[in-house]
Amino acid sequence: MLKTLKSLPILATVMSAGLMSGQAARADHVDVDIDRLKAEIRQDTHGWRVFVDYQIEIEDARRYDRFELLLTFSERGRPLVDRLGRPIEVVIPLVDPTDIDDDELEFRDGLTINLPHGVLHNPKRLKIHAEVVSVAQGRVMDRKTKRVKYRRSILRPLRPFRPIGPFRPICPPHPWLRR
């Protein structure tokens, strides 16, 4: 009985430290969701362009937490690589939120990615992979994979002059043209 009375304060100290570390772990929990990821590919006169639209929500993040969005592509299960064999990756730092609520940061944006010539064989089988990575921890917080929508229309550069509508002649036609 004497041994248990002596060990009680130590047990209480261990329990309170355990509770405090559990609370700290809950407070450090950051919830990251990729709510929307849309991608569309079109052929341009210079090659393929991928238009990406994303929306990311981060809850319970602290001021000094830094996150990045990593975009990669795959075709038929293989990563898309450039001519040197390096995977095509786009890293977007998430630093300027578009909306801030009480404990939630929201990032919404869109971007255009020009793919190098010769890396894409079949645009109908292209997939985009998005990962939100914590910079400090190097850990993937959320990931999402979507198929890239293929648009057959070719983007053409704007012509220097486009007629807007039917035009009326400024001067009346000659009398011999009125017949």
DSSP E strands: which ranges in the chain? 31-44, 47-59, 67-75, 78-79, 89-94, 99-100, 104-115, 126-134, 139-147, 149-154
Report in angstroms the alpha-carbon separations of 135 from 52, 53, 57, 159. Answer: 22, 22, 16, 45
Percent pLDDT > 90 in the chain is: 46
Fold of domain 29-152: Immunoglobulin-like (2.60.40)
Distance in Å from the first CA to the final CA of the chain: 126
Q: What is the pLDDT of residue 118?
A: 83
Q: What is the pLDDT of residue 177?
A: 54
Is the entire prediction scored with pTM above 0.75?
Answer: no
Average pLDDT over residues 40-64: 88
Q: What is the pLDDT of residue 83?
A: 86
Residue 159 pLDDT > 50: no
Percent pLDDT > 70 in the chain is: 69
Q: What is the pLDDT of residue 174?
A: 56
CA 56 to chain centre: 8
Residue 173 pLDDT > 60: no
Instruction: Categorize the per-residue pLDDT at 10 as very low, low, confident or very high, splitting at 50, 70 and 90.
Output: very low
Instruction: Categorize the per-residue pLDDT at 117 as very low, low, confident or very high, splitting at 50, 70 and 90.
Output: confident
Q: What is the pLDDT of residue 156?
A: 55
